[in-house]
């Protein structure tokens, strides 16, 4: 088990602007990969425990409390590993009212805590904690899954960070409401310009029973989506969906999203 030691420092976000005096946390452990966390985007912070679905469903542990505390100051990212080996980025909470994947990401953080990982796993459990706290979909009136190509938006900063970190695979995890689009457990991908996107999605589809939705070329149907923009940048990416009404947590939706995340990591032979 990891013992978290707090240190007061000034966090710098991805635009090299000081977020403020926050608490950073570095994992100290006898076995397993090192763990650290930091704020990667400022201006997005909020108390996610004000959302009762989040509060009642995330694990009640020390590392959970550290992530929740950090999220009050901005978009948190938890890192397992030292930046070497295969590097995978898992993202949840692009839409604040799509809750299952955000809870699943917190479960994944707790699962990986103390584990030995081959490579480095980066997890962003809440892209915009302020909208998760309010259980609303959009950040400042913007659909963050349509503005990744707009400089300065939270998803654009995640895209730039993925480039800097030389991420080898990215999974963006969502939930779709019944009767919506796609309205079923699924995994989106494209065959061009990153054919590995399709290979990852095919594996997740086969292992989790998620419908495979593949487009010949990314950036057309969903311009500005995180998955499309990262694929266009040469980072193989997929979008995974589970079914749950927006603003609530349907039975089985958290475990479904969690298993999709685990399958991505297993595809890269990281766990």
Domains of the chain: 3-267 (3.40.630.10)
Can you read off the two tokens belonging to residue 130? 């302020």
Predicted pLDDT of residue 123: 98
Residue 196 · residue 227 · CB < 8 Å: no
Cα separation, 118 vs 140, in Å, equals: 38
* pLDDT tens, position by position, 53-85: 999 999 999 999 999 999 999 999 999 999 999
* pLDDT over threshold 60, residue 29: no
| 264 three-class SS | helix
| DSSP code of residue 184 | S
* pLDDT tens, position by position, 127-184: 999 999 999 999 999 999 999 999 999 999 999 999 999 999 999 999 999 999 999 9
β-pair type (87-92, 120-124): parallel
pTM for the structure as a whole: 0.90
Query: Percentages helix, strand, coil for the chain, rounded to the nearest 5?
Result: 30, 25, 40
Share of the chain above pLDDT 70, in %: 89
């Amino acid at each position: 088990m990891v013992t978290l030691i707090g240190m007061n420092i000034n966090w710098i976000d991805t635009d090299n602007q000081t977020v403020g005096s926050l608490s950073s946390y570095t994992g100290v452990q006898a076995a397993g990969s090192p763990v650290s966390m930091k704020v990667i985007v400022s201006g997005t912070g909020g108390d996610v425990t004000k959302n009762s679905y989040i509060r009642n469903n995330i694990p009640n542990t020390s590392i959970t409390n550290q992530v929740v505390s950090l999220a009050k100051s901005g978009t948190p990212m938890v890192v397992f590993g030292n930046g070497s080996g295969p590097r995978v980025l898992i993202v949840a909470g692009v839409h604040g009212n799509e809750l299952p994947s955000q809870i699943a990401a917190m479960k994944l953080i707790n699962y990986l805590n103390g584990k030995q990982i081959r490579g480095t796993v980066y997890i962003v459990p809440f892209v915009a904690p302020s909208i998760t706290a309010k259980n609303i979909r959009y950040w400042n009136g913007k659909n963050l899954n349509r503005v990744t190509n707009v400089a300065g938006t939270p998803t654009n900063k995640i895209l730039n960070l993925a480039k800097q970190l030389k991420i080898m695979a990215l999974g963006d995890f969502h939930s779709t409401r019944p009767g919506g689009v796609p309205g079923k457990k699924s995994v989106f991908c494209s065959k061009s310009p990153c054919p590995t996107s399709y290979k990852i999605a095919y594996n997740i589809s086969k292992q989790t029973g998620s419908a495979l939705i593949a487009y010949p070329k990314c950036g057309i149907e969903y311009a500005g989506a995180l998955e499309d923009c990262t694929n266009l940048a040469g980072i193989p990416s997929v979008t995974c969906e589970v079914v749950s009404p927006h603003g609530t947590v349907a039975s089985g939706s958290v475990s479904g999203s969690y298993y999709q995340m685990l399958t991505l990591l297993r595809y890269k032979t990281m766990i």
